[in-house]
Amino acid sequence: MALKAVRGFSDILPSETERWKRIEDQARDVFGRFGFAELRIPLLEKTEVFARSIGEETDIVEKEMYTFPDRGGDSLTLRPEGTASIVRAYIEHKLYVAETVTKVFFIGPMFRYERPQKGRYRQFHQIDVELFGTSNPMSDAEVISVLMHYFAVLNIKNCELHVNSLGCGDCRRPYKEELLRFLRAHASGFCANCQRRMDRNPLRVFDCKVEDCQRMLRDAPLLQTYLCSACTEHFGHVREYLRILGVTSIVNPHMVRGLDYYSRTTFEVLAPGLGAQNAVAAGGRYDQLVESMGGPSVPGIGFAIGMERVLLLLQDPSSPPRSSLFIAALGPSARDKAFTLYCRLNERGIATTMDYEDRSLKAQMRRANKLNSRYVVIVGDDELRKGAAVFRDMKEQSQEELPLATLFEELNRRLAGDCVSA
Ligand code: HAM
């Protein structure tokens, strides 16, 4: 039986890579303009990098990580998200020394053992953007607005930006007590997992997908009413800066992100067109994370964009393969001549294609059409005898003869700049 890819893991085929490159290039351009520098992190980390930061009681750590012992007995994990790895690298390489504010972004695959469905995969890709070194609400507004700008550049409309504040330790302490009182009073109505989680980390009960639990939680106390004055003021400033920047946001007090490291501002970009998996990007502030992972007390904020979900939202179809020039060769001598020409033109950046096998002119012209080639050069025994090749402009529907002796230079002169390699 033929081998297949692992469930939830996909190949990205040549016909799709143009669209992937487009969203990656736009990310490098947009985030680069705002001073975010690209960082590359390893696929594997020690398991504790994620367990300690994301939180032991979260869905990701409890059920979704690809964790295994290596041959030396260390527990390693394929990264389920980027933030924890980036913070590990930020601390390990003391990136905080060179600059007070550090802005980085990362593009790459993540791994979560989730039930695959449209928009949800076991290997998926994120564009992760992080800003370290300030808790000024301006930086919250900056990262959110650069995210929305990225979507605007990709012409992705109909997205809703939901924002919330999860407060700091000071406001969360009394809130957690109140939430726990509520959860205990209704404990019998919650599933076994929620009952287990409520005592250890009551906020994580909100992540439960069971409908009955979600219904009960509609009456749970809201964190927003417990925010301390500093957190209320911070959130107010974030919203005001967003308003000044013209970024529309919806306050969603029910939004509790499924990772433990967040404090204060959290946000999600929802695209209703995506169905059940409608979060196309999400993030928030994590002012204690760097310190809790052994670094200095440096605040941070960031987000990750789900690239597969962005691609589902892009309207343009996958692009056909491109070739600017097709060389149709007829007969072995012409093919040899064409082969050198084909290699030399591609070296010059003129996207050229030819057939390796001897096929009829009709078959070769069909292939040129399929490749959308603007120009075709035809060389056969007749042309070799005459010392001239036929040069066709498919768009203008014109044709002329070009001397074989100077064909390479002539094509170079005519097509350089006009033809860019795919
Ligand atoms: P997250 O909400 O777990 O946050 O994931 C961010 C985005 O990644 C989601 O909104 C979604 O678009 C995409 N995503 C997540 N899981 C899957 C999946 N199984 N299949 C396809 N796409 C998926 C984080 O990962 C945080 N690290 C974000 C962050 C950065 N917070 C601060 N900085």
Q: What are the tens digits of pLDDT across the range 206-215? A: 989 899 999 9
Q: Quickly tell me which residue has 């929620």 as its tokens.
A: 194
Residues 285 and 258 occupy one common structural domain: yes
What would the two tokens of residue 337 be? 């001549």
Is 176's pLDDT higher than 60?
yes
Residues 263 and 405 occupy one common structural domain: no
What percent of the chain clears pLDDT 90, i.e. is strictly above it? 87
How confident is the model over 47-65, as a mean pLDDT?
Answer: 95
Residues 23 and 90 occupy one common structural domain: yes
Q: Which of 124, 146, 263, 305 to mutate to test the pocket of ligand 1 (most atoms within 8 A of CB)?
A: 124
Cα 347 to Cα 132: distance, rounded to the nearest angstrom: 43
pLDDT band for position 420 (cuts 50, 70, 90): very low
Is 422's pLDDT higher than 80?
no
Residue 177 neighbours by CB distance under 10 Å? 13
Our measurement of the distance from residue 186's CA atom to the centroid of its chain's CA atoms, rounded to an integer in Å, reads: 40
CATH number at residue 132: 3.30.930.10
Please check whether residue 420 lies inside any domain of the structure. Answer: no
Question: Is the CB of 411 within 6 Å of ligand 1?
Answer: no
Please check whether residue 186 lies inside any domain of the structure. Answer: no
Closest by CA position to 107, among listed 79, 128, 131: 128
Predicted pLDDT of residue 401: 95
Is 419's pLDDT higher than 60?
no
Predicted pLDDT of residue 321: 59
Answer for the pair 310, 23: CB distance below 8 angstroms, yes or no. yes
How confident is the model over 128-142, as a mean pLDDT?
Answer: 98
Question: Is the CB of 380 within 6 Å of ligand 1?
Answer: no
pLDDT band for position 158 (cuts 50, 70, 90): confident
Residues 241 and 138 occupy one common structural domain: yes
Q: Which of 36, 81, 285, 290 to mutate to test the pocket of ligand 1 (most atoms within 8 A of CB)?
A: 81
> Ligand 1 center to residue 172 CA distance, Å?
24
- In ligand 1, the atom with minimum distance to the C-alpha of 83 is 27
Q: What is the pLDDT of residues 272-326, one digit of tens each?
A: 889 889 999 999 999 999 999 999 999 999 999 999 999 999 976 666 656 799 9
Predicted pLDDT of residue 209: 87
Residues 376 and 400 occupy one common structural domain: yes
Question: Is the CB of 89 within 6 Å of ligand 1?
Answer: no
Predicted pLDDT of residue 1: 87
Cα 245 to Cα 249: distance, rounded to the nearest angstrom: 11
- Give me the number of domains the chain comprises: 2
Residues 302 and 330 occupy one common structural domain: no
Protein residue with its CA nearest to atom 11 in ligand 1: 306
Question: Is the CB of 126 within 6 Å of ligand 1?
Answer: yes
Range of the domain at 62: 14-168+228-313
Question: Is the CB of 281 within 6 Å of ligand 1?
Answer: yes
- In ligand 1, the atom with minimum distance to the C-alpha of 306 is 12
Q: Which residue has the higher pLDDT, 142 or 256?
A: 142
- Domain end (from 313, 340, 371): 313
Q: Which of 49, 104, 110 to mutate to test the pocket of ligand 1 (most atoms within 8 A of CB)?
A: 110
